[in-house]
Amino acid sequence: MGFTPLAGTRAPVRVWADPYAIEPQAAKQLRNIGALPWVQGVAVMPDVHFGKGATVGSVIAMRQAVSPAAVGVDIGCGMSAVRTSLIAADLPDDLAGLRSAIEATIPVGFAQRQEAVNPRRVRGLEQAGWDDFWSRFASLDRRVAQLETRAQRQLGTLGGGNHFIEVCLEQGGADEGRVWLMLHSGSRNIGKELAERHIGVARKLPHNTDLPDRDLAVFLAGTPEMDAYRRDLWWAQEYARRNRAVMLALLCGVVREHFPQVGYDEPISCHHNYVSEESYDGVEVLVTRKGAIRAGRGDLGIIPGSMGTGSYIVRGRGNPAAYCSASHGAGRRMSRAQAKRTFSTDDLAAQTAGVECRKDAGVVDEIPGAYKDITEVMAQQEDLVEVVAHLKQVVCVKG
């Protein structure tokens, strides 16, 4: 399907979803965004839902401005995946031991490492740029200066919420049963701290006084505030990318210990909360993707479902109407609080049958029923991406 324009906005707001199915709060946010004078256009992904300031599942192109709330607080959050040489028949019937080994190697939830990861001791991890990367910490916002040790110890850790590590099997096609490794994580606490500080600064700037939603406050090009945000933003996006790279390398090591014969293809990695400098119709814009991936022509990306429904490896079609973007997942259809009120641990066990994962009250808010139908989400963006592989998880690790 193509897009539907959202009526009543100054800038074009193009929707790759049923506009009548968008929750009223999210629709109001989209109209608020479309009214901002700096906005060139907005592309709304099929996983759209209400968020802080900007909706999750929105792609916003701005001229000479950027809104930190349109990026989100988990700067650089995204996905990584790698296809292995293993097939389903190589895996044991009981996957509890593999899940335990993953959880013993990669801290989850609020946990951090006792000592920072030494990249030189991680097999398969890129070695370039680490010294330069950490040397730039000293130039970040001075209010996070005391967090360097924490940032180092959280590198290579998963976090909680909807972050996960999975072992998946490819569904259908010539590679039916091929084993994939996948994970979802971001910039951990350091990205959140940087984002919240800059959102606070933006809210107090005079040009943001009359906005319909102060959480949509922007920085303007050529100002010290914009320069400071971009400096911290680029660093946090790199932190998130390196965080996933460390975890994926460690995950590959765990699997190698269990299956010494394993081989790995080139990994796929993509942000879905980030800013990029791009050009459309000759206009230079800053594109913020909050819950959306870049889907330029030929770009490989990852669109996960929930912890019981599977995921997709996709190739972008480069649709400029969507600013070359696609959804970042299934998207929530109910809040975490509502999910906890609606579902029980018995529901969780039923909806995750066949998946080696937590089935306790602590992850009921991540139950598949709290998310939109991933197959419908994929059908709504056939003009944005083509499916390369359909995956179904057999192991899911959550914080």
pLDDT digits (tens, 9 = 90+) for 283-335: 999 999 999 999 999 999 999 999 989 999 999 999 999 999 999 999 999 99
Q: How far apart are the first and last CA of the chain?
A: 36
Question: Are the C-beta atoms of residues 323 and 44 closer than 8 Å to each other?
Answer: no
Does 364 map to a domain? no
- CATH no. for residue 133? 3.90.1860.10
Q: What is the pLDDT of residues 104-114, one digit of tens each?
A: 999 999 999 99
Query: What is the CA 68 to chain-centroid distance, rounded?
Result: 16
Distance of alpha carbon 130 from alpha carbon 256, whole angstroms: 25
What is the edge-to-edge ordering of all strands in the sheet holding 56-62?
4-5, 13-15, 39-49, 56-62, 283-290, 273-280
Does 9 map to a domain? yes
- Residue positions forming the annotated binding site for Mn(2+): 74, 163, 184, 272
- Residues 50-59: what's their mean pLDDT? 92
Does 350 map to a domain? no
Structurally, the chain folds into a number of domains equal to 1
Distance of alpha carbon 27 from alpha carbon 333, whole angstroms: 14
State the pLDDT at residue 399: 83
- For the chain, give the mean pLDDT: 96
- Residues 58-65: what's their mean pLDDT? 98
* CB-count burial class (<10 Å; 0-12, 13-18, 19+) for 121: exposed
Question: Are the C-beta atoms of residues 17 and 48 closer than 8 Å to each other?
Answer: yes
Does 242 map to a domain? yes
Catalytic residue among 49, 198, 271, 328: 328
Does 355 map to a domain? no
Asked if residue 8 has pLDDT above 90, the reply is no
- Residue positions forming the annotated binding site for GMP: 162-166, 272-273, 304-307, 311, 328-331, 398
Does 343 map to a domain? no
Asked if residue 52 has pLDDT above 90, the reply is no
Partners of 356 in the β-ladder:
395
Q: Report pTM.
A: 0.96
Which residues lie closer than 8 Å to 360 by C-beta, 6 or more apart? 345, 348
Does 123 map to a domain? yes
Is-catalytic flag, 198?
A: no
Domain boundaries, position 121 = 4-333+371-398
Does 317 map to a domain? yes
Cite the DSSP H helix spans in the chain: 24-35, 96-105, 130-135, 148-154, 188-203, 224-258, 336-342, 345-351, 374-379
State the pLDDT at residue 1: 65
